[in-house]
Copies of this chain bind each other. A is one copy, B any other.
Amino acid sequence: MSAELRKHIEEIVPLTDQEFDFINNHFKTKSLKKHQYLIQEDEFVKNIYFVVKGLLKATYTDINGKEYIIQFAMENWWISDFQAFYNETKSITNITCLENVELLYISKAHLDKICSESHKMEHFFRVKNSSGYVALQQRILSLLSTHPKERFEQFTHQYPQLLQRVSKTIIAAYLGISRETLSRLSSKL
């Protein structure tokens, strides 16, 4: 029984106790320690994960071994390799824990089941996905139209908590700039 998940869903759709029980029964829990892998490259991705506690990063590593941050996930965020999950293909990303984490997760079959049996949940995920889409468009626009300095300022403003919890090196990999450049930038603020 996860109060966090219920509260998260009810920000979009109110639920009866029965409805929430039904939903909740399709989730399982998982705990991981800092540095552990949630998803590794080349694996099939069976689940999406809801973060109850902790912080993770999803990364892509190029042929030169350079790492790029696709997304972070902290409390009340969802994370997975969504491409691999939806298409039922192998992951090209790694997801690792930046802190100890507590997760809830649901398989694709169960997700499809609760969505088809509960119109409310179908609605919930439609709305979540559309918000996510808009957020990614914003990130694209930021990558296209702003210089590193401005991008870092936007990030600082948008995710002040992450600034506390994540190393600058990793933030640089999220913003698409080198750690040295980010260092020079942040000393100028």
Which of A's residues lie within 8 Å of B, judged by CB? 60, 62, 66, 68-71, 82-83, 86-87, 115-116, 119, 122-123, 125-126, 129-134, 136-141, 143-145, 176
For A83, the chain B residues whose CB sits under 8 A away are 134, 137-138
Copies of this chain? 2
Bound complex: CA A70 to CA B68 (Å): 21
Asked whether, in the complex, the Cβ of A134 is within 8 Å of the Cβ of B66, the reply is no
Main SS at interface, chain A: helix
Give A66's nearest chain B residue, CB to CB.
B145
Give 6 nearest A-B pairs by CB, closest first: A129-B129, A136-B136, A126-B126, A68-B144, A144-B176, A143-B143
* Among A115, A123, A138, A140: residue with most chain B CB under 10 A: A140
Report the minimal beta-carbon distance from A153 to chain B, rounded to whole angstroms: 15
- What are 10 A-B contacts with C-beta separation under 8 Å? A62-B145, A68-B141, A68-B145, A82-B133, A83-B137, A129-B132, A133-B133, A133-B136, A136-B136, A143-B143
For A139, the chain B residues whose CB sits under 8 A away are 140
Give A129's nearest chain B residue, CB to CB.
B129
Give A60's nearest chain B residue, CB to CB.
B141
Bound complex: CA A16 to CA B176 (Å): 48
Asked whether, in the complex, the Cβ of B145 is within 8 Å of the Cβ of A143, the reply is no
Q: Known A131-B86, A144-B68, A145-B66; judge A126-B115 contact (CB<8 A).
A: yes
For A143, the chain B residues whose CB sits under 8 A away are 140, 143-144, 176
Give A175's nearest chain B residue, CB to CB.
B144
Asked whether, in the complex, the Cβ of A82 is within 8 Å of the Cβ of B130, the reply is yes
